[in-house]
Structure formats: C-alpha cells, structure tokens
Structure 1
Amino acid sequence: MIVKYTKILFGIAAIAAISLVSCQPSTTSTSKKSQDKRVTDLISQMSTEEKVGQMTQITLSALYTDGQLDLEKLRYGIVTKNIGSILNVNGLPLSITEWHQLLTQIQDIATQETSLKIPILYGIDAIHGTTYTQGSTLFPHNIGMGATRNTDLVGQSAKITALETRASGIRWNFDPALGIARQPLWSRFEEMYGEATALSIAMGSAAIKAYEEDGLDQITAVASCMKHYLGYSVPLSGKDRTPAYIPEAQLREIFLPPFIAAVNSGTSTVMINSGEINGVPVHASKYYLTDLLRGELGFEGLAVTDWEDIIRLNYRHHVAPTNKEAVKIAINAGIDMSMVPQDYSFYDDLVALVDEGEVPMSRIDEAVYRIMKLKFDLGLFDNPYPEKAAIANFGKESYQEVALTAALESITLLKNENGTLPLDTTAKVLLMGPGANNLGALHGSWSYTWQGQDENQFADETLTLKEALEAKIGVANVICNTTGNFDDSENTNIAFLNSHAAKSDVIMLVIGEKSYAESPGGIHDLNLADNQIQLAKAAYATGKPVVLLIAEGRPRVISSIVDGADAIMQLYRPASQGAAATMEILFGDYNPNGRLPYSYPRHAGDIILYDRKHTEEVTEFVPDSYGGGGYNPQWEFGHGLSYTTFSYGEIKLDKSEYTTTDKIQVSVEVTNTGNRAGKNSIDLFVSDHYASLTPSFKVLKGFTKENFEAGESKMIRFELDSDDLSFINSEGEKTIEAGEFSVRIGDKISTFRLK
C-alpha cells in the first residue's frame, strides 16, 4: 500500500517551465494578504526612480575615497540614486562608537536630504557572532555548533549576536546558513551545521527564533536571513559558486526542509544561492524564486541576492547577453533587492526596463513593499539611528561564558589510545604546528575581517593555543617555536622538533587549515598539506606520545597519520574561547562530548555519507564478490569519545505495528558506566527496509543531549510520526509506504511495521 499526500509538482516539466525572461507579474502570498497601509501609502508617493533605488544595495567600500567615507559619494548614492540599503565594512572592524558615527551620517542624509525621508537598511554577515565590530563575541562556526547537538546553545549564541549587532546600530543579519555540508571540498563547509538535514532544521530554526522572537523593533533583535536558497552547498566541482546537480527527490528531501522550517520559524529575509541547480542559475529561476519560495513555502519576506549575482548572470552564467538583460531576468524571476554592490548599473538598467515596459510596475511594487515592510517592522521609520540603550548589551562578561560552553561542547575527541588524555599539568609539552600560535585558524571566516586572517584585529584577551597552554601549565613547561603566521615554515621545522623532543613528555601538534572565506578558500585536494603530514610522522619517530589538535573548517584527509597518533581532537573553528576550552579538555577539567556532524573521510576520493544507499555499502573490487565496507570513513557521523563510557539498553517501542496516524513512542535506557560525570549526545536514526525509491541506509530523525553522573541511568524518550517515515518519490510526491522500519540508537536496533 502506498499513502501519498502533500503532492509537490517538481518534475522535468516543472524544470522546463522555468521562465528566464517572463515579464508577467508574479502572484505570491504577499499580494493575497491584507497589506500594511503605512507601506502602501508610502509606495503610492514614490517615483519609479525612488522605488528602484530601494531595491539597490551598495557595499560601503564603494562610498569611500582613500580610506575615508566620501560624503559626496554617499550623498550621490542616497539622494541621487535613492539607494535603500548598504552592507559590509571598509576592510577593518569598527568600534561601537565608529559604527554609531557612520550610521548616523548615513541616516542623516537619508532622512534629512531626501523628499520621502526613507531610512537606510544596513546589513552585515554576523554568522558566528558579531563580526566587523571591535571587541565583539565570536562563537564556534556552525559546523562546530552542529557537533554540540545543543539547540539551546545555538539559540543563546544567536541571541547574543543579535544583542551585539543591534548595539552597533545594525538591524539586519545575513544568517543562518542552511545548506547541508555534503561536499567537503567546498570552502563554506564551516558555515553549515553538518551533513544531516535534521541538524540544519533544528539548529537553523533555533537561531532564527533567537534573532527575531523579541520583535524586530526591539533592541534585542535583528532581522534574520535564511541562506543560501537553494542547493548552494553541494557544488559538483567543490569550488564556491559553481553548479550543483541535484535530483529532484534529493532537493526536496535533503536540501529544502531547512528552508521550510526557517519560514515556519518566522525568518524575515532570504539570500539566494549564487550558483546553479541542474544548469539553471537560481537568481534566474521564476520557479525557485516565486513558484516554490512564495507559492509553495508561503514566504512573504525580502529576497536579496548575494554579491554581484545579477550581473554574473551575464558574464559568468551566460544566460543573459547583457547586464540589462540579466537585471530583467532576475527581477521578473522574483528578486527584490540586488546586492549590486559596487556601482549603479543595476539601478540604471532597471529604471530603463520599467520605462520600456520590460519589467512591470506590479513586480517593482511587490519588491518595494517587502523592503519597506521590513524597514517599518525594524522600527527604522520611528528611529533610524543607532539606539543608545542598546550599547549596554554589548560585550558582557556572561557572553564569554556562553562562547566557552559552546566551544567545550563542540570540540570532539576522535581518538584516545591507552588513556593518553587527559594530560597531567606537570607534563612538559613540545608544541608545534601552523595552528599553534595562530588565531585565524581557531576562528575561520567572518572573524572581524572577511577572511579572518588579520591577527591584529582580534581582541587582546583572545588566546592562541600556545598562550593558553602556557597559562595552563606554565611557560617553563612549554617548548614552542611557532609564529603567528600560519604559513611560516618554522612552524613545521622538523629539525627543531628532533632537537627538542627528548626534553618533552608529550608532543602536541596543531594541524589543519588557516582561515579563509568563500572562494579564496578553494582547494584542489582534500588531503592535509604535506608539510604537516611529514611533521606528524617525524613526531611519531621520536617515540614520544603525540597528540594531534585539528583546527579546520572542513575535514581534511589525515589517514596516513591517524594510526601513529596517541590522541586526536577535532577543534573545528572554536573561536574566541576555543583555546581555553581546548586546555580544559586536554587536562581533564572538562569531559569532552562533541559528536561529528559529518562523516570524516578516510580517502579524498571516497566521500560516502551517513545516509548512503544500500548499494554504497557494497564493494566489488573482485567481480561478483560483494563485500561490505563501502561506507568506510575515518570516523563515522556521530563519532565522539568521552573520558567516561556509556551503554545503551534495548530500544523500547510502545507498539510493534503502527498506522500513519499514530505517534511512535521510542525509549531507551542510557547509562554512564564510567567513573566520572559527562554529557552524552543521543542520535536517533530511522531506516526504511524497502521502498519504491531506494531507501537510505539510515536517516537522522532526532537527537538530544543529557548530562549523566557517574553510574547514572536515564530513560531517553523520542516521539516519531508518519512524516519521519516519509520520502520524496520519483514523481516528486511526499510518500509513505507500508512495510518494515527500524529505529537505531547507539548500538541498538528495534524494528516495527507500518500498516
């Protein structure tokens, strides 16, 4: 029996129907609902030029001359070109005072020198804490937050980010990133919550609610931005802003649900995928931007492009022969605001297109309505200036405690042979590796600067691992030659290692990646850099115990050095309190409990994910010999060690047979069988035994995290429903099929039947 519901049309015909040049006005949920009279009254007073200006977003650096804000350029942009939005910063982070001065200058011109006095909407990429602001709090990147399995921590971090961002005077945050981290070559991997859809749904929704739940006009909130809609995170080449090829069932089953959840959680804005899906640039797709996003998901908020993405329809994607044609395609498809961002070509072209009748005024009014509505909701028309009362919410000591907790719960112990960890504080440590004295490697992208590589911009109290280790065990017990330059060859000087190894009790190597953001972080090879591999091998040859600390934004392949290490700890990008958190774990003050949010690959060319198909479980290197081991990562999704141990009782179900209307009650007793307290993350997976479309081996459907005292047992409970047993079939329909299913928790499996 097949039960079908929520029919979704997304087949070949739907792709073929994507309109790249349609001039027809879109019909969306916005036009069907009662509109805000404040907004409609304002729009009725606006000229074409004023409307198009509101759809234009310019980067701040375009308004600078010789490193200084050029008031004539600013005045030209706001008064002459009517721009409605500005983003970014001119290179270096600003103090709260400098932000207030800058935004006051901007709003003075907007509200005093224009006829309609429309305030500017300012946006920023505060994606793991408030960036571009001196002294702000930075939290672990999303990939580390996925390892915490703690949605409360995600919410707390987002709330603090909202407080500090609003304190700077900015009310629009381009976060959270809701892609699924399934292409480890991709340079934005660290911005995702992990390879499981369920992680992105839960974590992203928690962030959105924390950003917006107090009300956008309050000094404790910012407008969130779900991004990058849709399918951005799996470019086939692994390079940023390049094409993805995603079967329709995968698109709807894996990549779309976090955006559905984001809409249901109340996100105000969306940023669009810079790449293509199956040859269709998302910025050019009326299907993705209007039919699916507006019509099906019911999203009513503002849709903004990413950097220069409309122009790139011409010179990168080659679907538009001119920039003007690119503007026509994108706006008719459903874009509301163009992050142009360096010039006024978008403005000039769109004004001309409206005058020529190539873009209908109804489409312009629809876009401007969404922009004006957001400005009203944010309270900009009541007070466009930075709110003085918000300053008190910046830089509180308690924020560092949340950052420390987030780093502690994210860091994942991957290997610990013979109880190498925790270390004794009397140990003498030889510390080497390019990340040992480098702050950028601990923070990653969007860390005070875009690339996060400027070591001078981090707060004075931010510690490198070297400084944190010296503070923990004393300078005299640390032997280290590393510099703040990640690429300095001295950091991997084997001669130094060999000459000092005998003086140490343990060798600690900090390996991984330097900081990077977006395309500059592109790589051709997932293997860790050879100089770091050789350093590790030389360390093993000394006969001393070796601990590897990995600071990286994506899982670089280290299979050639895993066996020789006595302990391995994955730090991800733990940020401002990452060094302190690492020391607490290394020396046993804190019991590690992070769990991998992705499958850590063993080989660069062998990327198989936790929810693989059953055929991926098979190896057939000898013809007609069907051996197992197809899913053979270095460490499985969900792997993470502790300084204690946990055991799982048999999984208990309230029934053995269910109907599609039943709730499925799942319980399992978990026991801390070790001699110290610790937190344990419990992942629940569902497996469909047989289906009309090949089922996944297992799919994450729930997770929770609990603290256990030594010897303590707890009954952990989950509830599933029919939606957790559904899949998208080959006809684009959400489907449930009768048959056998399994629930997996820890090393236990329980089977039931769906009638």
Structure 2
Amino acid sequence: MKHNWTKGIASLALCAVLYGFNTPDISNPEKNTEEIEMIVNSNLTIDEKVEKILHQLSLEEKVGQMTQVTLDVITKGESRFASDEPLKLDKKLLEEAIVKYKIGSVLNTANNRARTTDKWNEVISQIQKVAMKEIGVPVLYGVDAIHGTTYTAGATFFPQQIGMAATWNTELNRQGASVTAYETRASSIPWDFSPVLDMGRNPAWPRIWETYGEDVYLTSQMGIAAIDGYEGENNDLSDKTKVASCIKHFLGYGSERSGKDRTPSYLPEIELREHYLPSYKAAIDAGAHTIMINSGIINGTPVHASYKYLTKLLKEELGFKGLVVTDWADIENLHNRDKVADTHKEAVKKSINAGIDMSMVPYNFKFAEMLVELVNEGEVPMSRIDDAVRRVLKVKMELGLFETPYPSKGDYPKFGSKEHEQIAYNAASESITLLKNNENILPLKKGTKVFVAGPNANSMRTLNGGWTYSWQGEKVEEFAQDYNTILEAVQNKLGKENVAFASGVEYNHEGLYHEEKNIDIDAAVKASEGSDVILLCLGENTYTETPGNLHDLYISQNQRKLAEALAKTGKPVVLILNEGRPRLISQFEEDMAAVVHTYLPGNFGGDALADILVGEVNPSGKLPYSYPMYPNALGTYDHKPSEASEKMEGMYDYNSSLPFQYPFGFGLSYTTFDYSDIKISRNEITPYHDFTVSVTVKNTGDVEGKEVVQLYTKDLYASITPDNKRLRRFEKVNLKPGESKVVEFTLNGKDLAFVAENLKWTVEAGEFKIMIGDQSASLNVTKTVEFEKIYFEN
C-alpha cells in the first residue's frame, strides 16, 4: 500500500510539474531533483523540458548554471591555482562549488597536464554524481581540444588548424574533428572549445596557427567541415561519440594592430563584416551549439561588454540560439585590464546585460554572488537570466547529460586506435607544403647520405605546438615518446648509418619560449662533412596566446647564422620549416636548395615528412596564408590594387609594397599539372543567376599527385575599390600520370557580392574575371542588386 500511495503522489507531482502548477521548493532540494528527473523522463519536447526545468530552479541555481570554474578550484592542493598529484577531488571544495554556489560548468585540466581516460572518467563521474544529487542538473564539462583531445594521454593528435587548412581537404578536416569528438567523449568530456574561426591575417599574431589562415572562404568551408565532424549529421548531440562544438572567438580576434595577443583592434565596419564575420555566420548556419567571445577590444569597446556585438549582431541579426561563453577571466578583465568597469560587480552587470550567458570565471565564486545581488537589486533583469540559463540547459539536454551524465569506460574501443592514427597521418602528409625545389633535389635519391640539423630536428614538442598535453605544449616530450621526431623518422627511412646529426642550436625549454641555448654552429658544420644533402630543421618552439608575442618576425638570428654557415659548405640544403606562423627567411632563402613547410603537423608529422622527402608520398599542401618576405611588407592576397603591382598572375614585383616570399595558395609537387579549356555556362548573369565554371586539369608528369584546383574572381571596377582577387571555390583532385579531369564549380551571382559603403551586401553591374590556374574568362553582370540589409540598427 505504501509503495502504491507513493507512486500516486509522484504521478500527481509529475502532472503538476509538467502543466506548470508547481513552483520550486528551495527548502527541499531532494524534491526539486525528483521533479527534474520526472521532467527529463517525460514525453515533452526538449524545449518544453528546458522550460519546465528552468521553472524549477531558484535564482541561485540559475546563476550557478551561468558559472564556470576551472578544475583546480575543486581538487586537493595547497591553493586553488595548483593541485596535488596524484589528482584527487576535494570533497569540501566540490560541495562548496555545487551545493553552495550551484555551479553548472567546469573546464580545463588540473596542474596544466594531460590525464588518462580512466582518470577523466573518475573525476567527472564524481562531479556529476554530486551535481545530480544536489541540483538535478548535470555539469557541462569543457576543454580546448583543438587538434585532438588536448588533455588526454594516448589521444590522437592531428596537424594544428593552420596545417589542416594547408590540406585544402575539407573531408580530412571533418574526419579529424570526428576522431577528436570521439576521443574527447571517451574522456567523459562533452564540450569542445573548437573550432577557431578567427582570421589569420596578421602574420605576427601568436595564435595564427590556431586559425585556418587568411581567407574567409577557406576558413568558412573548413569551419563547416569541423562542425560536421564534432557534432555529426544534423548536429545530433545525443550521439555519444559527438561533442558540442564552440566556435571562437567572436568577433575580430586576430586583427590587433600591434600583432600582439589581446591588444586593441581598429576595424571599419566594412572590413569586419566582409572578412571577419562570414566564417561565424557559416558556422552558425551549420548548427554550432556554442560560441566563445573575443578577449580583445574593437574600436575601444571590449567585445565582452558590447551589447551591439553580442545581442544585436550575434543573437538578433545572425539568429544565434546557442550558448555564449566568455573566454578565460574576461569579465574580470573589464575591470582589471580594460578599465571600462570601476568594480568587478559593474563588470558582471555590463557583460551579462550585453549578452553573455556563461562566465569562464575561472578561480572563484564572486561572479555568482555578485550576479545574484545584481538581479535582486534590479540591475540585471530576470528575463536576461532566464534567457541565459535556457541556452545552457538546452545544450545539456541535447547532449543527453541528464540521462547519461558520464559514459561507461568501455564505450569507446577505438580510442587511440590505428584507424584514428591513419587519419592523423593522412592529414599530416597532405598538409606538408613544398615551397621550393631547385634542380629537383627532392625527392632524395636512394643511398643519399644526409646530415640533419636545427633546433626542430629532434623534438616532438615543436611538431605539435601548443594545446598539446598542456596549454603551452611544454609537456609534450613526457607524453609523446612513442612517436618519431623528424630525425628519428628520417633515420628509420634512410637507415641510421646514412644519417648524421648535430643540432647547432637548441631551444631553452626551461627559459623563455623564444630563448635558445647550446649554440655550436661550428660543430654542426664539421658534422656535416660526410653528407650529400643537409636537412635543416628551423622554426619555433611551442607557444600560444600572450607567451607567443614577439617583436621580430624574422626567424631567430642564431638559426639564420646556422643556415648561412651550412649553405657555405656548398652542399645542397633542404630547409624544413616547423613553425606556427611564417617566420621570415628572406635573409638566406636564396641559398636554400629546397624549402618544405610542415606547419605544426602533430605526432605523425615526422613520419609524413620522411615519406615525402624520399618520394613515397607526393606533397600536395598549399599555403593557407601569404608568406611575407619583409617585416614592413605584411599583407594578404586579397589586398587592394594600390598595395601591390603585379608582374604576373600570383607573383609580385620586388619593388611592390607586398613582395611575398610565397603567395597564398602556392605549393609545388613532384609532378606537374596543366590547366586548359576554361568554360563558363553563361557569359552574362544577373546577381540571382546560378552559373558553372569548368576547367580541364591534366597530370603532365610521371608521378601520381593531388592538385588543389582554386577558383578566384576579380571585380574589375566597383564603387568601393575592389580586392585584388577573391577565392570562391576549390577542390582537391588526385590524378595519375597522363590523367585528365574536368573540374566543374557551381556559383551564384551572390558569390560576387561585397559589402558596400552603405553596409549592404551588393553585386554591382560590370565585368568580372574568373581565374583558375593560368586560365581566365570574362563574366558580365547586367544589373546591380543590394541584398538583405546586414547592418543592425543602433
């Protein structure tokens, strides 16, 4: 009888909850969690469930959902900035976070180091058990898994985003993101702060390697592919192998005038909308669930305090319905750094009213305390709180966290598998870009004796870059011992007896990230005496964000001296670049017989490079940015005509203001490709017409190879000075020797639009040039059309 009576009461309670008759009983948290559980198990839609759960939460619980702290805050340790090892949660601190402050999200690892999947499962399971018992709402755990599952030992690591862009292969990028999602979810983590859709248009910026390069179309297509990989078909997050993606950092990050991280940007609205906004619009249209905000300042206003950008532009104009999260401590920075709020409490008010939904606090609970006060004081409306929490709850609901707060350890048998590693190797091999190959010195002839030198020759750390096992990547060697450095891979391929080594210059891993030590160039020169070819591995040590700021874009002078000394031996030098941004090499590039760019290719970069050097793999990477020649000649391929004078298509006069070392989209092969017979389906269009462009591509060499077919348009005359040219389509094709293929692209008149002076996307009547390889054709637009007004009302 008692059991049946209890079931009857529960049924009545469920009806009351579902039909809105109940109000939350804050004095009885157990009752609250039971009612939430009934809502979750009901037949209501996700949106209906979210509304009912929202109704059950107190103000403190709602604000808790908007609060995110880092893992060190709830672990055993001497302070909230460091944890004991082995890692253990502190029961009192965990209860403080969840029972007292009701926090809804945790991020990051502890002590800035990777953990095993078992440890992640243990830690996150404990967190979720407390959250489900005390609140009835699971915690949303997030990490920066940007080229693999950053903080998980044994995870599969891919090239960094700039390398993935160099593949010009969106399907490979989708596959890499899918593997990362799988292995992140295997770590019990359902939220990934990726992809980065900032534009890499300033070569000095220390985060350029986290981007897909300088072109907005390439970035948009890679971003769409990444979201498809992370979130899966139809963005169905109930698939336990998928994660919620987080596009970042909205908006204009990377456009800093100084090139230094998180320094001010001054962006005209036309530039912001044409070159910095479309990648985010594409990602939002692709269904990305969450978005992170730019830590910087645009035209004097911190983005985290901008109602104009966060609410009017992002949420209203672009229609973003997902969760908006801050970057690290950026609400506090409104007071501490940017000086637009005279107190921390004022900073909270500004950011939440501007449109922030969740604060990456990350080290205390003052945000939660101050936000409750602001609501009670009428400074932040309850409607703004409900809007934010509704977005948080919906992501958690769609991820299935209410039903399965943490996965079973046995659910992910492919973690770190050979299948996943093969995809990473494929990506590395397609990203590596051959920039110079005088007298076909590459591939190396059989029996060649090589000498390997340079600070990047025997380092797994430099192959991976930052966000690898730790934030700055300084712990890579500890976790990546089973993979091959460039030196080890070359030794495996050619035989140790044919490979000599002396670094000549080493990085000082204990000091500043730009420091070097053990400089002995004479010893390197002497060690090269018995070799036929020198492989010189130069570039950068690991870094990201502010620690990567620099004052001189030239490659280090120690490395320059090493290159010059080895070139004077008279032996052909193959320069292998392993760097996160294009460090200038014009002081000695002409003395190099060949130049190979590896970017940051990940754990399989050494193996992929060795296979390319001996010709087992034909290089097919293309530059995703313009490689500058001089520090006072930085620019992009889509510059204005007054910035550069062309002497031939794609190349520039030495006296031009933009003498690129290598142009955007450039990359050599061990074979040759011929373009012919460009055709346009119609020579005249209106801005509403579809049209096709085709070209025949033939492999005219004797080696099978992949070619990136790139279609550009050029607006000959416009009301605003048009860009030099713009990438509109691309496709990577594989051709056997002698094989031809007709590659066809479909475009629409809207693809020719630009942001006009009135801030409307506009296609103007006039002549356009369509260009693929050395082929071109003319297209005439017969009328001018302004499309939807994209500028928001002030």
Q: Same fold (TM over 0.5)?
A: yes
User: How many Å apart are 1:345 and its aligned residue?
Assistant: 1.5
- Hey, what's the Cα distance between the residues in 1 that align with 2:249 and 2:750? 25
Contact 1:649 1:669 (8 Å CA) reproduced: yes
1:520 paired residue number: 547
Task: Indicate the SS of the match to 1:665.
Answer: strand
1:313 paired residue number: 334
2:666 to 626, 630, 639: 639
Q: Structure 1 627/555 Cα, relative in aligned 2: closer, same or farther at 3 Å?
A: closer
2:693 to 654, 661, 666: 666
2:493 paired residue number: 472
- Hey, what's the Cα distance between the residues in 2 that align with 1:92 and 1:609? 37
**C-alpha offsets along residues 444-492 of structure 1, whole Å, 9 cap, x if unaligned?**
1111111112243333321111111111111122211349963386665
Task: Indicate the SS of the match to 1:649.
Answer: strand
Q: Structure 1 719/628 Cα, relative in aligned 2: closer, same or farther at 3 Å?
A: farther
Contact 2:436 2:595 (8 Å CA) reproduced: yes
More deviation in 598-607 or 61-70? 61-70
2:216 paired residue number: 197
**C-alpha offsets along residues 572-597 of structure 1, whole Å, 9 cap, x if unaligned?**
00001100000000010011010000
User: How many Å apart are 1:651 and its aligned residue?
Assistant: 1.9
1:571 to 590, 594, 598: 598
**2:606 is aligned with 1:595:** no
1:70 paired residue number: 90
1:145 paired residue number: 164
1:226 to 244, 247, 269: 247
User: How many Å apart are 1:279 and its aligned residue?
Assistant: 1.1
Contact 1:434 1:491 (8 Å CA) reproduced: no
1:39 paired residue number: 50
1:610 paired residue number: 637
2:100 paired residue number: 80
One-letter code aligned to 2:746: E
- Hey, what's the Cα distance between the residues in 2 that align with 1:243 and 1:138? 33
Q: Structure 1 221/424 Cα, relative in aligned 2: closer, same or farther at 3 Å?
A: same
> Which residues of 2 match residues 322-333 of structure 1 at below 5 A?
322-333=343-354
1:675 to 666, 687, 702: 702
- Hey, what's the Cα distance between the residues in 2 that align with 1:410 and 1:492? 31
2:155 paired residue number: 136
One-letter code aligned to 1:60: L
- Hey, what's the Cα distance between the residues in 1 that align with 2:188 and 2:375? 34
- Hey, what's the Cα distance between the residues in 2 that align with 1:565 and 1:198? 33
One-letter code aligned to 1:690: Y
- Hey, what's the Cα distance between the residues in 2 that align with 1:100 and 1:393? 16
1:50 to 41, 44, 61: 61
2:303 to 267, 273, 282: 282
- Hey, what's the Cα distance between the residues in 1 that align with 2:686 and 2:692? 13
One-letter code aligned to 1:468: A
- Hey, what's the Cα distance between the residues in 2 that align with 1:484 and 1:415? 24
- Hey, what's the Cα distance between the residues in 1 that align with 2:313 and 2:289? 17
- Hey, what's the Cα distance between the residues in 2 that align with 1:507 and 1:306? 44
- Hey, what's the Cα distance between the residues in 1 that align with 2:745 and 2:59? 55
1:212 paired residue number: 231
User: How many Å apart are 1:191 and its aligned residue?
Assistant: 0.6
**2:284 is aligned with 1:257:** no
1:4 paired residue number: none
User: How many Å apart are 1:263 and its aligned residue?
Assistant: 0.8
One-letter code aligned to 1:386: P
Contact 2:201 2:635 (8 Å CA) reproduced: no
User: How many Å apart are 1:618 and its aligned residue?
Assistant: 4.4
2:526 paired residue number: 499
> Which residues of 2 match residues 359-438 of structure 1 at below 5 A?
359-438=380-459
**C-alpha offsets along residues 5-62 of structure 1, whole Å, 9 cap, x if unaligned?**
xxxxxxxxxxxxxxxxxxxxxxxxxxxxx98121111111211111111100001112
Contact 2:219 2:279 (8 Å CA) reproduced: yes
- Hey, what's the Cα distance between the residues in 1 that align with 2:125 and 2:693? 56
Task: Indicate the SS of the match to 1:692.
Answer: coil
Structure-1-length-normalised TM-score? 0.93
One-letter code aligned to 2:197: L
2:716 paired residue number: 689
User: How many Å apart are 1:424 and its aligned residue?
Assistant: 2.4
- Hey, what's the Cα distance between the residues in 1 that align with 2:541 and 2:494? 26
User: How many Å apart are 1:185 and its aligned residue?
Assistant: 0.8
More deviation in 161-170 or 71-80? 71-80
- Hey, what's the Cα distance between the residues in 1 that align with 2:691 and 2:659? 31
**2:159 is aligned with 1:107:** no
Task: Indicate the SS of the match to 1:393.
Answer: coil
- Hey, what's the Cα distance between the residues in 2 that align with 1:375 and 1:687? 46
Task: Indicate the SS of the match to 2:604.
Answer: helix
More deviation in 210-219 or 50-59? 210-219
2:314 paired residue number: 293
2:9 paired residue number: none
Task: Indicate the SS of the match to 1:607.
Answer: coil
1:159 to 178, 181, 184: 178
Contact 2:505 2:521 (8 Å CA) reproduced: no
Task: Indicate the SS of the match to 1:651.
Answer: strand
**2:375 is aligned with 1:354:** yes
1:344 paired residue number: 365
2:23 paired residue number: none
One-letter code aligned to 2:520: N
- Hey, what's the Cα distance between the residues in 1 that align with 2:447 and 2:762? 60
1:180 to 183, 199, 202: 199
Task: Indicate the SS of the match to 1:414.
Answer: strand
- Hey, what's the Cα distance between the residues in 1 that align with 2:247 and 2:639? 27
Contact 1:110 1:117 (8 Å CA) reproduced: yes
Identity value in percent: 48
Contact 2:700 2:737 (8 Å CA) reproduced: yes
- Hey, what's the Cα distance between the residues in 1 that align with 2:715 and 2:633? 25
One-letter code aligned to 1:273: N
Contact 1:438 1:484 (8 Å CA) reproduced: no
The count of aligned residue pairs is 714
* Unpaired runs of at least 5, structure 2: 1-44, 510-515, 647-652, 783-794
Q: Structure 1 145/290 Cα, relative in aligned 2: closer, same or farther at 3 Å?
A: same
Contact 2:451 2:499 (8 Å CA) reproduced: yes
Structure-2-length-normalised TM-score? 0.88
Contact 1:432 1:492 (8 Å CA) reproduced: no
Task: Indicate the SS of the match to 2:196.
Answer: coil
One-letter code aligned to 2:254: S
2:755 paired residue number: 728
Of structures 1 and 2, the one scoring higher in RCO (CA 8 A, sep 6+) is: 1
User: How many Å apart are 1:213 and its aligned residue?
Assistant: 2.1
More deviation in 654-663 or 372-381? 654-663
1:545 paired residue number: 572
**C-alpha offsets along residues 395-427 of structure 1, whole Å, 9 cap, x if unaligned?**
111111101110010000000000100012422
User: How many Å apart are 1:244 and its aligned residue?
Assistant: 1.2
One-letter code aligned to 1:222: V
- Hey, what's the Cα distance between the residues in 1 that align with 2:414 and 2:54? 35
One-letter code aligned to 1:401: Q
Task: Indicate the SS of the match to 1:723.
Answer: helix
2:460 to 430, 439, 445: 439
One-letter code aligned to 2:98: I
Task: Indicate the SS of the match to 2:146.
Answer: coil
Task: Indicate the SS of the match to 1:370.
Answer: helix
**2:472 is aligned with 1:461:** no
More deviation in 609-618 or 302-311? 609-618
1:486 paired residue number: 507
Task: Indicate the SS of the match to 2:413.
Answer: helix
